[in-house]
Amino acid sequence: MDNEHRTLPSPKFDRWWPAGVKKVDWSGCESKSLGDAISAIQRDDSPVVLWGSCGRGKSCLAALIASVSRRPRFAAASAILGAMMASQQNGMVEWFGVDRTIGGMIRWCSDASILVIDDLGSRQLTPPQADAMLQILQSRYERGNLIITTNCRPDSIAEMVGQRITSRLSAGVWIQMTGPDRRPERG
Ligand SMILES: Nc1ncnc2c1ncn2[C@@H]1O[C@H](COP(=O)(O)OP(=O)(O)O)[C@@H](O)[C@H]1O
Ligand SMILES: [Mg+2]
């Protein structure tokens, strides 16, 4: 898989590219996790769970893969679950510049060619948030191609997201992102 990136289309850093994620290229990706992730997406395995500690390149790899698909969508788990809670409470929420009902939020998820939910399990989900996350997972059953990133280990994610979500995630492919913390040191 060493030269895998040479055969991949150039990433598209369009308007949708997530603000907090550095614009990087395939060439900097660790080759095993890149190859495993591309193969899983090509096989339509879903969800693809990229897991590992901070700074291993999970968010960058998820965004790169999404960027070469027709209609990529990327959201931090805390942001989209917060928005879904707000839409349920208030009837409507502004999400990517559009006022949406909860149905509109679900459509935003299901309409994506690849949906990335970034950083799931960084906080313990409340029961309503877990229900909303299950709706997101459900919305991808027909479409496939859901990428989830998490700092949680496969054997401990249930503590953060609960059993129902964990059992759905277990049906997907887990790819560990190893190597050093690549975030530049902050002073
Ligand atoms: N493909 C890549 N090429 C070059 N640098 C990368 C690449 N992937 C990650 N990095 C570097 O590692 C940092 C952390 O990556 P990130 O995806 O945010 O990690 P994680 O989501 O695992 O915490 C990035 O800000 C960037 O500096
Ligand atoms: Mg990240």
Strands of 30-169 (E only): list them: 48-51, 72-76, 93-95, 98-100, 114-118, 146-150
Summarize the confidence of residues 127-152 as an average pLDDT. 94
Q: How far is the CA of 133 from the centre of ligand 1 (A)?
A: 25
Say what the pTM is. 0.95
DSSP code per residue over 90-103: HS-EEETTEEE-HH
C-beta of residue 149 within 8 angstroms of C-beta of residue 119: yes
Q: Is 43 exposed, middle or buried (0-12, 13-18, 19+ CB in 10 A)?
A: exposed
Query: Which of 5, 24, 119 is the best mutation target for the ligand 1 pocket, counting ligand atoms within 8 Å of the beta carbon and taking the most?
Result: 24
**Number of helices (H), then strands (E), in the chain:** 7, 7
Return phi, psi of residue 94, to 5°. -85, 125
Which tens digits make up the pLDDT trace of 30-86?
999 999 999 999 999 999 999 999 999 999 999 999 999 999 999 999 999 999 999
